């Protein structure tokens, strides 16, 4: 789920030093993945005013540290659970905070782009589907 979320928000800083897990204090056994953290280099944090006019083009310039596309990552890790999580993002709107002073047009541009991004990621065939189709066609 974290890697799919990273793809959605174009997180450019997910490296092997910031994957976390929750452990049982007594046994040390892994309980679950940690909540998502360290995603500050995302959502077009480097975009200039001119970039917000066409975020679709600007988004093509963003990449992750894995040297494979976000879409390829999703194709490998996405399953029904992640697709359902993505579906819940359709219609997402940021909560506006006056104290942050973020330009409304920037927030609207990101919201619009995220809507399209969700749909694009949902259209990616998952690895499991690809394998099943290959098996059927064999």
pLDDT in tens, 74-127: 999 999 999 999 999 999 999 999 899 899 999 999 999 999 999 999 999 977
**2-137: CATH number:** 1.10.1070.20
Mean pLDDT, to the nearest integer, of 25-29? Answer: 96
**b/e 111-125 (16+ beta carbons within 10 angstroms → b):** eebbeebbebbbebe
Q: What DSSP state is assigned to residue 14? A: -
What's the pTM?
Answer: 0.84
Can you read off the two tokens belonging to residue 68?
A: 């494979």
Task: Give me the pLDDT at residue 135, please.
Answer: 64
Task: Give me the pLDDT at residue 115, please.
Answer: 97
Confidence band for 17, pLDDT divided at 50, 70 and 90 = confident
Confidence band for 136, pLDDT divided at 50, 70 and 90 = low
Confidence band for 25, pLDDT divided at 50, 70 and 90 = very high
Q: What DSSP state is assigned to residue 101? A: -
- CA pair distance 24, 17, nearest whole angstrom: 21
Does residue 16 surpass a pLDDT of 90? no
Q: What is the SS3 assignment for 22?
A: strand
**What are residue 112's phi and psi, to 5 degrees?**
-60, -45
Confidence band for 133, pLDDT divided at 50, 70 and 90 = low
Q: Where are the domains of the chain?
A: 2-137
Cα 60 off chain centre by? 14
Confidence band for 68, pLDDT divided at 50, 70 and 90 = very high
**b/e 48-74 (16+ beta carbons within 10 angstroms → b):** eeebbeebeebbeebebeeeeebeebb
């Amino acid at each position: 789920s974290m890697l799919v979320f990273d793809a959605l928000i174009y997180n450019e800083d997910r490296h092997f030093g910031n994957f976390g897990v929750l452990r049982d204090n007594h046994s040390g056994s892994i309980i679950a993945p940690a909540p998502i953290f360290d995603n500050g280099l995302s959502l077009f944090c480097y975009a200039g005013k001119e970039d917000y006019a066409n975020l679709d083009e600007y988004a093509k310039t963003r990449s992750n540290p894995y040297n494979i596309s976000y879409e390829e990552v999703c194709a490998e890790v996405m399953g029904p659970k992640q697709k359902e999580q993505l579906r819940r993002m359709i219609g997402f709107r940021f909560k506006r905070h006056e104290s942050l002073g973020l330009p409304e047009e920037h927030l609207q541009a990101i919201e619009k782009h995220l809507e399209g991004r969700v749909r694009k990621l949902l259209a990616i065939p998952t690895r499991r589907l690809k394998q099943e189709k290959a098996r059927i066609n064999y």
